[in-house]
Structure 1
Amino acid sequence: MPNTTDLDPSKSPLAFFGSEVRRHREKTEMTQKDLGGKLYCSGALVGYIETAKRFPTDEFADGCDKIFETDGSFGRLWPLVARLALPSWFREYVEFEAAATAIRTYQAQTLYGLLQTEDYARAVMRTSRHRDLDGLVAARMERQHILTGPKAPDIWVVLDEAALRRRPADNEAMRAQLQRLLDYRFDPKMVIQVLPFSAGFPASLDGSFTLLDMDEGADFVYSEGVGSAQVMAHPDEFKQAAFRYDLLRAAALSPGDSAELIASLLEEL
């Protein structure tokens, strides 16, 4: 089971929610498995929620109120949890990403991190002038291990044409990057589409965002700002983002035509 001893309740609404679940569970002398049985979920999910590694659903919150007789306190806290920002920007997101069963992402400016080559990632990250560039690149490459694991998620990527035409100074790095995108044509768990300039204004003028489908806990939307990130786990917000994503997919080139465009850009280098 996940370790609950390192959780700081003040870190975020999600951490506070998890600590309250743990406090009431221990007060009633229930194990995580016991509570999971009453909530019709696994004990592991209870542990993940207690350690802020999964988002609770509203049904989970309501169930806790009934079991612990807390007069709706979990239900009142849940909307805040569902609209929280990640506890420490990106580090925790990687854990959610690794546990996702499906990932849908729209990338407006650069290529999706899970698809980047090392040289391309280095060129992108160099612009931030971070002192530990090697460490950042290594961490990004480590993230990509989920693509080849036994529980690799299904991934659907919509790339704005601008992301393909914005290139590092090193043409060889871009050649290798475009070739990697083409190689993914043969991956049964990967779909790549390009949203061409000819499609006009994209359905997401706000920029890039990612939808993560989880096998346990609430699905959520992830987006980034300047030095920060936002997560939306409320079902209505997820539904709205998913509809926007469907519009992007509909406006994009087919996977085959997208591959042809990528190949033509490769030939230009």
Structure 2
Amino acid sequence: MHDVLEYQTQRDGLVVQLRQTLAADQRFVAGWLVGSFGRNAADAVSDLDLMLLVAEAASAQLCAKPAINRASTTPERAALFTTFGPIAALYEAHHNAPAGGTQSFVCYQGTGIMVDWTLVPADKAQRPVDALILFEHEPIAVAAAPQVEPNPTELIKERVAFFWMMSAVTIKYLIRRDHGFVTTWLEELQRIVLEVERLIEQRPWSYQHGSRSQFAATTLAQKQVIQGLIATMLQLTSPLAELRPAPLPELERLLALVEDN
């Protein structure tokens, strides 16, 4: 516990350093923490999802993308990142950034503190709904909140059909006692159930970190989890007459092939 508290203290100290240093850097118009800090859901080991709005004069260099995915960065971004310490690990995945922007994962040497640096040209940026403001030198428009899908029927049909398909496939791997595969897909099936529930209830999408399922360590426990997921999906979708009937007899036939011991 002491080590976790030390890590948190170092990370929170980095937040202070980021705010002070970047607010004084004329290349940046605004800086926010998004992700768990923006949602007020950060814990002791949450990383820093840092979004910076880059002034027009600096955006061509700082937001340059020689490649979409790469294991290195540009000299200009490297100089920025290393202002806050030497880099232990770096990976860029610019498809995760807003339009015109870049995203770079940096793990800092010695501390292990992780920062996702997102740099966006200021003329293309909006502040996310969930953002903790570090600094803003001028007012920034706030992005629209996520909206409910206007006609989710076809999406519900697709998600439910995919659920039944992958339930059958997952049971097949459970028969084979491939517990790693089954563990992965129990999590995915749980997420599909929650997505279908959200669509039926017409709630807007919202991000949730971590897993949605409980770890099941044995064949019997995994079988019981998938039986519970099937039962939940049946309960959710039974009132929806437009859906294809669930392949329940076939799934029960496959489940009967699972040896519990």
Fold shared by both chains (TM-score > 0.5): no
Greater Rg by CA: 2
**TM-score, normalisation: structure 1:** 0.27
TM-score, with structure 2 as normaliser:
0.27
More helix by share: 1
- Between 1 and 2, higher relative CO (CA 8 Å, sep ≥ 6) is seen in 1
